[in-house]
Every structure is written in C-alpha cells, then in structure tokens.
Amino acid sequence: MTPPQRRRRQSREQPPPEPVAAGGPKEGEQKNPERLYILTGAAAGGERAPIDLVTLIVTSADPPPTATPEQSALLRLCRAPLSVAEISAYLSLPFGVVTVLLTDLLTAELVQARAPIVRQAVPDRSLLEAVMHGLQKL
C-alpha cells in the first residue's frame, strides 16, 4: 500500500486559491484568519512585554482590599511560581482573560513575571543540554 503524498506548499507570495463556488468556507479553507482575539495585543501603553503561556508569575504582595475575587484568587495561586497556562487552567479562565488580569496586577506591582527562554536564531547549546539531561532523569 502506498501512503498519500504531501505536496509542498507554494511560496507564500502566491494568493490562496479562490474558494469553490458558494456554500460557505470549508474546513481549512479560510485563508485569512487575521487576529482572532484582540484583547491581549499590545495594550494601550504598548510597553508591556507580551505575556506568554509559559511566563512564570510570582505574587509579590498581599491582595489589597480593593482586589476583585479573580485577582485575589490569582494572587493566592501564585505564592509559588506558576505559568500563565496553569493559572488559566486552575482559575478556569480563558488565556486572554488571564493576560488582562495580569496586566493590571503587573502594573500595580502585585506580581512579578519571569519571562520564558525562547528559541533563538542561534540555539543555546547549554540550554538544550540542560533539557536533555533533565529528560534523561525522567
């Protein structure tokens, strides 16, 4: 039996093929998703570092009396470092909502953010070796 064959995509300059006739777009044919969720983009000031799923958040102060229930819950959760993804999971709040909450808490200096290590054009060998070593212990 022969497997199906992938065909390489054409260069990205080429416009996507027109959808076939009417009947609404089919699965995977919407070629221009744009921004699906604007809430978390560069906020008003635009100086804030983007919040990643694996930015680690640590609480740095007790909840003020004015804190909302969501803020209090978040501050309680992050007494030990916790990723934004975990905060979203434990609070059952969408990622975008958590980033908005965090933006306020960071501005008020109630939490600190530890930025993730992201992929570099020239990969960091010692980082990769550390991860390999950690996986070997698993």
Partner 1 sequence: MDFKSSDTVPGPRAEDHLPHTTQAAVKIVIVGGFGVGKTTMVGSVSEIRPLTTEETMTQAGIGVDDNYGSDTKTATTVAMDFGRISITEQLVLYLFGTPGQERFWFLWNGLFEGALGAVVLLDTRRLEVSFDVIGRLEERGVPFVVAVNSFPDAPRYPTAELRGALDLPEEIPIIECDARRRASSREVLMTLMRFLHSLAVQHVPA
Which residues from 38-97 bind partner 1, rule CB under 8 A?
A: 40, 50-56, 58, 69-70, 72-73, 76-77, 80-83, 85-86, 88-92, 94-97
Q: Are 57 and 99 in contact (CB under 8 A)?
A: no
Judged by CB under 8 A, the residue of 15, 17, 33, 65 near partner 1 is 33
Longest distance between any two alpha carbons in the chain, whole Å: 68
Q: Are 77 and 133 in contact (CB under 8 A)?
A: no
Q: Please state, in angstroms and as integers, the Cα–Cα distance from residue 135 to each residue in 45, 112, 126, following that order.
A: 40, 28, 14
Minimum Å gap between C-beta 109 and partner 1 is 18
Interaction between residue 103 and partner 1 (CB under 8 A):
no
Minimum Å gap between C-beta 45 and partner 1 is 17
Judged by CB under 8 A, the residue of 14, 17, 21, 27 near partner 1 is 27
Minimum Å gap between C-beta 20 and partner 1 is 15
DSSP code at position 13: T
Nearer to partner 1, 17 or 24 (CB): 24
Strand partners, 82: 57
| Residues 1-20 within binding reach of partner 1 (CB under 8 A) | 1-9, 12
Question: Both tokens of residue 128?
Answer: 């990769």
What is the CA angle 122-126-131, rounded to 5? Answer: 105
Minimum Å gap between C-beta 61 and partner 1 is 16
